Amino acid sequence: MMFEILDMQLMDGLSVWGLLIIGILVSAGVIVARIARMIFNKKFAPTMPVHTVKTLNKLIYYGIIIIFLLAATASQGFDIGGLVVGAGFMGIVIGFAAQSVVSNMISGAFLLIEKPVKQGDTVEVVDVNVTGKLIDINTFSSKVQQFDGTVVRIPNEKMFTSNLRTFILSEVRRSEVTVGIGYGENIDNAIRVIKNAIENNVVYSLMEPAPQFSISELADNSVNILVRVWYPRDDLLEVMPNLLKVIKNALDDAEIEIPFPQRVVWNGKESE
């Protein structure tokens, strides 16, 4: 009775016994996949980026299971030709319907291979105007934590095709501010006052490369001085909030005018 049940044909070329063997082989594949993933995590993962480890974990696990599944069906003489053709046709239909999903997945793979940025980098995704710390690269999207604490999810396609500006490759950064002085003021004296103030009061500003000063514009109400300062890349929030305050106080102490827009209004009639 038992053998009759095992020999029962469920469909053409597939018996209960064959289905049981397929189930056993697939279960063995799951066990092998888990062991392979565990070995990978112990031997190789500690020296690799986190997002790369996550992607390779999925490829190893599901890749081994698929191989065992195909081997199990082939061992039982099960004809999967029709299934493969059907899956191929379905794949084409799904591909047209989900082009953006496929594009994001492929772009994510290219991001992992090329590595223009990596997890933990401070980056600016220029095309979407997002700046912050890259905290994750997943299969379909990446996450950037902005300086205000919010997290922005960006599709991998946009990440890969956008201009990426990274702040982590160089040890120093440069920022610039523009300061206006009155036309009656001595430019060289104003630059000297600003330079001394930066050297004495902006702690993280570097002296090498030294601060740079140039006249950027002869504006309507002021002579504009462009001030460029260099500082260690991680000290942006220590330098920029202080810089303008230090310059303003130094110019006030030196009695150098910082002009503001003025208008003279005529009423258009002569007084009698």
Look at residue 76 in the predicted model and tell me its pLDDT: 64
Sign of the CA dihedral 172, 174, 175, 180?
positive
Distance CA 173, CA 199 (A): 17
Tens-digit pLDDT profile for residues 155-198: 888 888 888 887 777 778 888 899 999 988 999 999 999 999 99
Look at residue 5 in the predicted model and tell me its pLDDT: 54
Look at residue 215 in the predicted model and tell me its pLDDT: 92
Look at residue 194 in the predicted model and tell me its pLDDT: 92
- Predicted TM-score of the model (pTM): 0.51
Tokens standing for residue 138: 């997943």
3-state class percentages of the chain: helix first, strand second, coil last, to nearest 5? 50, 20, 25
Look at residue 7 in the predicted model and tell me its pLDDT: 55
Distance CA 38, CA 23 (A): 23
Look at residue 43 in the predicted model and tell me its pLDDT: 79
Domains contained in the chain, CATH given: 2-97 (no CATH), 116-166 (2.30.30.60), 172-253 (3.30.70.100)
Angle, in degrees to the nearest 10, between helices 187-201 and 236-253: 130
Look at residue 223 in the predicted model and tell me its pLDDT: 92
Look at residue 190 in the predicted model and tell me its pLDDT: 93
> Residues in the chain with pLDDT < 70?
1-19, 49-52, 75-102, 262-264, 268-272
